[in-house]
Structure formats: C-alpha cells, structure tokens
C-alpha cells in the first residue's frame, strides 16, 4: 500500500471513523500512537517510521504529533465532535474558499455551510483555494469578507497547518471570483 493510500486511511480514522479499527480518540482528537500502529497492523502493515513519514510529507499538513510524540491527531476536518484546542484569531481582511462549479448556486443562496464537518474551511490565498476547488471539478473561488464578518462577531480560528476555520459564512460576505 502506498503512503498516499495509508495517509487517506489515516485521515478517515482520525477525522471521521476511528471505530473502524476500534481506535479511541480523546476529547481533543488525540490517539495514542502505539495503539494506532497496533490496530492498523491488524489491517495494513505500518511502523512508527512510516507513520512519521506520512505526517512529515503530507502536502496538506493534516496531522500533528504531540510534543512528546506519544499522541497523534488530525489538525482539522473532523466530522466527529472533538475540540482541537484552537484559539480564536483575528482573520486577515479577506480569505478565500475553493469549491466546484456544482456548488456555486447553493453557496449563492445559503452561504458556506460546514456540512458534515465542524467548520467551514477557508484559505489565505487564491492558489490554495484553487487547489481545493480543483478536487471538486472545475474550481470556483469565493472571496470572503472576513474583516466584515469579524466586525459582526463571527469567530475565526487558524489550524496549525494554516487553514482558516469558521462555523458559517453567510452569502452577504461572499463575492464570486472566477
């Protein structure tokens, strides 16, 4: 199995379905590394060095080890209720959201919804938003007036890998940029 395939499976476990291998996450989304490796080995061979390589080379910076290296978690993108201990941060004036063309009409009506995740994911630059949008077909980019949102009391958080998070972006704060 390739590192990419292992990374996708790790993402599934740490963000959405730890129960697939009987893994337990604490309230902050942390899993014991030794337990994870032991449980993964019952399905897919993996060792500590491979897990470290996945974390170090993941192009989206999805994962983090605890300071002592005994725990691992996904940085964001969870559909299960965890508190990844993010502090509220004042956002830059604008942020970006990349999506596919099929979602544009719904976004125009409802704004950006977190859907099955805990937060809406936003990018600090158009390039990253375009990459994200490309995963959904022809990329479409929305500019988010995050300064105006913040002024109205909306909270923003920044994940350790640079992804900006908020619970909802109403349509009035969005401008389409194609």
Residue 1 has pLDDT above 90, yes or no: no
The CATH fold assigned to 95-177 is ADP-ribosylation fold (3.20.170)
Mean pLDDT of the chain: 94
Tens-digit pLDDT profile for residues 96-105 = 999 999 999 9
Q: What is the pLDDT of residue 172?
A: 98
Whether domain 3-74 has CATH 1.10.1740.10: the reply is no
pLDDT classification of 60: cutoffs 50, 70, 90 = confident
State if pTM tops 0.95: no
Reply yes or no on whether the pLDDT at 59 is more than 90: no
Residue ranges per structural domain of the chain: 3-74, 95-177
Burial of 163: CB neighbours in 10 Å, binned 0-12, 13-18, 19+: buried
Block residue for tokens 């390739």: 2
- Would you state the pLDDT for residue 151? 98
Residue-wise pLDDT for 100-148, tens only, equals 999 999 999 999 999 988 999 999 999 999 999 999 899 999 999 999 9
What's the rounded Cα separation, in Å, for the pair 125 and 143? 10
Euclidean distance between CA atoms 124 and 127, whole angstroms:
9
Are 42 and 21 spatial neighbours (Cβ–Cβ below 8 Å)? yes
Percent pLDDT > 70 in the chain is: 99
């Amino acid at each position: 199995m390739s590192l990419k395939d292992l990374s996708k499976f790790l993402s599934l476990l740490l963000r959405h379905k730890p129960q697939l291998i009987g893994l337990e996450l604490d309230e902050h989304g942390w899993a014991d590394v030794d337990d994870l490796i032991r449980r993964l080995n019952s399905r897919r061979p993996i060792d500590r060095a491979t897990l470290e390589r996945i974390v170090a080379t993941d192009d989206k910076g999805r994962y983090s080890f605890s300071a002592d290296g005994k725990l691992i978690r996904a940085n964001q993108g969870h559909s299960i209720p965890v508190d990844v201990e993010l502090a509220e941060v004042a956002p830059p004036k604008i942020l970006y959201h990349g999506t596919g063309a099929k979602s544009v009409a719904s976004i125009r009506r409802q704004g950006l919804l977190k859907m099955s995740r805990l937060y809406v994911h936003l990018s600090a630059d158009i390039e990253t938003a375009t990459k994200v949008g490309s995963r959904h077909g022809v990329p479409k980019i929305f500019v988010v007036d995050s300064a105006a949102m913040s002024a109205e009391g909306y909270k923003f958080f920044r994940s350790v890998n640079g992804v900006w998070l908020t619970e909802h972006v109403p349509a009035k704060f969005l401008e389409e940029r194609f």
